[in-house]
Amino acid sequence: MSEHAGAAPPVLGRRERKKQATRAALRDAALRLALRHGVDNVTVEQIADEADTALRTFFNYFSSKEEAMVAPVSAAAEQLIAQFRARPRAESVLRAFREAVVTVLNEGDAVSHDHIEALRLIRREPSLMPQQLAVLASQEQALAEAIAERVDPPGRDGFYPAVCAAAVLAALHVVLDRWLDQAAGLDHGSATALLGRQCDAAIAELTAGLDRPGSPDV
């Protein structure tokens, strides 16, 4: 068995690279305009114009402006799953997930930056919540499949991967929500260190188990 969980990603052809670039341009334009003007004050026509594409092209990639504005969360989720799959098989599921999260958010690239900005936008724009929930549902399914590939022997009913994926993503939501509040104003190194500590705290809770004895009646 290989030491690593996944193989190198396939090399994309020219057509696929062009499609990815167009999607990224629309995604970036949507987020940029939403941050600048607010969700309600942005139209799909403006997004297409900002990305220098036709309106018809926009709808080839996104069904609504809200979906485009939340797309950075989808991009980060795809990176997270890829990083998780690439972790050494010797790592436990929770350790591999922790390392994948820190890697993605510590890369400092455009996807990481836009993901954080999109999360901040979603917090102040409730109209984006349905789209975020749709992204999270898709991410949960993909993570469950990746967990099953790592640990599940043939014939299992898949209950553990599904429960584990739901639990770790819920923990990640708590971590990121707190981190967005506490990391404001910190330099990159301090913010990254804080994220690592909070991930460790959340992973420790999951590792210890969530069951606790009830308080005795007084």
pLDDT classification of 1: cutoffs 50, 70, 90: very low
**In this structure, which topology does domain 66-208 adopt according to CATH?**
Tetracycline Repressor; domain 2 (1.10.357)
For residue range 89-147, what is the model confidence (pLDDT) as tens digits?
889 999 999 999 888 877 655 557 788 889 999 998 989 999 999 988 999 999 999 99
Tokens for 97, please give them. 């997930």
The fraction of the chain above a pLDDT of 90, given in percent, is: 53
Ranges of each domain in the chain: 66-208
Rounded-to-integer distance, Cα 164 and Cα 167, Å? 5
Check residue 154 and give its pLDDT. 52
Q: Which residues contact 5 (CB under 8 A, 6 or more apart)?
A: 84, 85, 86, 87, 88, 89, 96, 146, 149, 150
Give Cα separations from 18 to 12, 15, 22, 35 (angstroms). Answer: 10, 5, 6, 26
Rounded-to-integer distance, Cα 23 and Cα 61, Å? 6
